[in-house]
Amino acid sequence: MQKKILELKNIDFSYGKKQVLNNISFEINNGSFSVLLGLNGAGKSTIFSLVTRLQNLQIGEIIINDYPIKNYSKALKDIGIVFQEPTLDLDLTVKQNLYYYGALKGLGFKETLKSIHEEIKRLELDNVLDTTVRNLNGGHRRRVEILRALIDKPKLLLLDEPTVGLDLKSRFDILDYVRDLVAREGLSVLWITHLFDEVDENDDITIIKAGKIIDKGIVKNIVAKHEKNNLVNTFNYLVR
């Protein structure tokens, strides 16, 4: 039986009297690239906020690498996080941003760079380590955020709409890099998006609408089950 790196069980969540998540349950297998797909306002970012403890769990259970989310220090120690909104300090260099995050992880300067040495090269950031983030373009800033999330080699990488606002080439360069990480390092990924062209037919997908899961499974199997030609047509059929 394949090990689960992330499990959400029967999650309900409300902002005041407004319920935004209704009985959300899905899981991510260890070493897989999984997608949470839904339109804006579907509840994707709320799920991200619960898994990362930006919001407190109200009803249900979240388990990360066998640890309940309530065991904060153990559950989150193996997670790398890329937020939708930029979180780099624009007035620090790339290297300084990395050092600062490494220090939060309890790593020294040398340990921080050592833990991401190969990824610096693969992300083509070795020539901008001493550049102030403010002077980087959007694509390179996003690469730095992904690089920062890989410090200390997490087992699960969570990315909330990581390509929003980027040009087409930058989007797919980042997507290809993350997919390669899964294949090369066995990293587990939850890729949260509303962009259909970022989803492959072999991806494990959870589709959400208005706070409810409307289907989940391997993309090509879902498409075949509903007798549609592609994911876009299947999605439109499911959310009609």
- The full set of domain ranges for the chain reads 1-78+157-167+193-240
The pTM of the full predicted model, rounded to 2 decimals, is 0.95
> What confidence tens digit (pLDDT) does each residue in 41-68 have?
999 999 999 999 999 999 999 999 999 9
Q: What is the pLDDT of residues 195-237, one digit of tens each?
A: 999 999 999 999 999 999 999 999 999 999 999 999 999 999 9
Find the distance separating the first CA and the last CA of the chain, reported in whole Å: 36
Quick one: CA dihedral 72, 73, 74, 76, positive or negative? positive
Cβ-proximal residues to 236 (8 Å cutoff; 6+ apart), any chain: none
CATH 3.40.50.300 for domain 1-78+157-167+193-240, yes or no, is: yes
Which phi and psi angles does 208 have, rounded to 5°? -125, 140
